[in-house]
């Protein structure tokens, strides 16, 4: 007499939420700042679509960014992170064939409304790119002061005032002590990490309220990366920071909230601890546990 085959495997027990993702990425998550999530909404994105010609790079994205909060945007290469970021300060439209639909409000004002000057937008919503972009022919001081040159004469501060703003911006970017004795030397002599902090200082000199960082440490060594991460963490006391990174550990270390993108879609936006421990969407869980990407 043979034992009958079981008809079906027993149904698996429902799994309690487990911090598998955190184990997978091997890092701890910073506690969100006590005031995270309580600030005013400063940038409000609703139904945003971005295109390159027929290529639909960002699909129906809605997300609000609050004052003094760091949001990380993660997701596999090509999912639309940079494109979303570049829509936030009207950089996307600098690409021929690029197009944007939907609405972005900055302090309640339509960022794409008639009469809005994209140059002014980029002063208020500054951006730092993956590779440091110092002006190679300018010295350190003039690199930081570059934004003032672009101002019409009547809005340009006096020389002493510019010097003071340069110092403040360099202090804000944690670079002052390293360069204060060589402000008149070329920026090109700085290390990659210093150049990146110089670019952050250049953005800070415009007294922005939002800083966009697109993979700011992708070209840097670990020590320089750590300095930038500490800086990002400190900047959130004064600014709204939105940082694109393909590095999940970095997102976990520096951000209050994390947004996960996939194929142009904003799949999930959650407090960083939640996104990496108990994500709401199975696609997020698959990504943060390293099953693809």
Ligand X SMILES: Nc1ncnc2c1ncn2[C@@H]1O[C@H](COP(=O)(O)OP(=O)(O)O)[C@@H](O)[C@H]1O
Residues engaged in binding Mg ion (CB under 5 A) = 82
Asked if 80 interacts with ligand X (CB under 6 A), we say yes
Choose between 59 and 103: whose C-beta lies nearer to ligand X. Answer: 59
Q: Least CB distance from residue 34 to ligand X, whole Å?
A: 31
CB of 235 to ligand X, least distance (A): 21
Binder of ligand X out of 66, 81, 90, 257 (CB under 6 A): 81
Q: Of 145 and 261, which has the nearer Cβ to Mg ion?
A: 261
Cα–Cα distance for residue pair 288/282, rounded to 1 Å: 10
Q: In what order do the strands lie in the sheet with 265-271?
A: 109-110, 98-106, 41-52, 55-66, 265-271, 257-262, 70-74, 240-244, 210-214, 125-128
Pick one of 28, 31, 38, 55: the residue that binds ligand X (CB under 6 A). 55
Determine which residue in the list 71, 83, 247, 270 makes contact with ligand X, applying CB under 6 A. 83
**Segment interacting with ligand X, rule: CB under 6 A, options 3-11, 79-87, 190-198, 250-258:** 79-87
Query: Can residue 52 be called a binding residue for ligand X (CB under 6 A)?
Result: yes
Is residue 77 near ligand X by the rule CB under 6 A?
A: yes
Question: Least separation, in Å, of the C-beta of 49 and ligand X?
Answer: 12
Shortest reach from residue 244's CB to ligand X, in Å: 6
Residue 78 makes contact with ligand X by CB under 6 A:
yes
Task: Choose the one of ligand X, Mg ion, none that binds residue 74, judging by a C-beta under 5 to 8 angstroms depending on kind.
Answer: none
Using CB under 6 A, pick the residue from 22, 71, 74, 82 that binds ligand X: 82
Closest to 139 measured CA to CA, from 174, 168, 181: 181
Q: Is 94 in the site for ligand X (CB under 6 A)?
A: no
| Residues at the site binding ligand X, with contacts judged by CB under 6 A | 52, 55, 57, 75, 77-83, 95
């Amino acid at each position: 007499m043979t034992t009958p085959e079981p008809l079906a495997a027993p149904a698996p027990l429902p799994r309690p939420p487990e911090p598998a993702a955190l184990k997978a990425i091997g890092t701890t998550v910073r506690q969100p700042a006590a005031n995270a999530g309580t600030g005013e909404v400063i940038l409000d994105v609703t139904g945003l679509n971005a295109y390159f010609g027929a290529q639909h790079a960002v699909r129906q994205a809605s997300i609000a960014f609050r004052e003094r909060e760091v949001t990380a945007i993660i997701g596999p290469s090509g999912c639309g992170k940079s494109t979303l970021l570049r829509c936030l300060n009207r950089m996307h439209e600098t690409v021929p064939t690029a197009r944007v639909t939907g609405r972005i409000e900055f302090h309640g004002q339509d960022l794409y409304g008639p009469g809005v000057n994209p140059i002014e937008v980029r002063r208020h919503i500054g951006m730092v790119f993956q590779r440091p972009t110092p002006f190679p022919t300018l010295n350190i001081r003039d690199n930081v002061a570059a934004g003032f040159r672009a101002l019409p004469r009547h809005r340009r501060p006096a020389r002493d005032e510019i010097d003071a703003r340069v110092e403040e911006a360099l202090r804000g970017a944690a670079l002052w002590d390293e360069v204060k004795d060589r402000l008149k030397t070329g920026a090109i002599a700085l290390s990659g990490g210093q150049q990146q902090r110089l670019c952050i200082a250049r953005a800070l000199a415009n007294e922005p309220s939002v800083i966009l960082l697109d993979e700011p440490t992708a070209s840097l060594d670990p020590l320089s990366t750590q300095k930038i991460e500490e800086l990002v963490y400190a900047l959130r006391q004064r600014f709204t920071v939105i940082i694109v990174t393909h590095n999940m550990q970095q997102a976990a270390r520096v951000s209050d909230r994390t947004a996960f993108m996939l194929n142009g879609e904003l799949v999930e936006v959650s407090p960083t601890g939640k996104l990496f421990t108990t994500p709401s969407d199975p696609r997020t869980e698959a990504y943060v546990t390293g099953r693809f990407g």
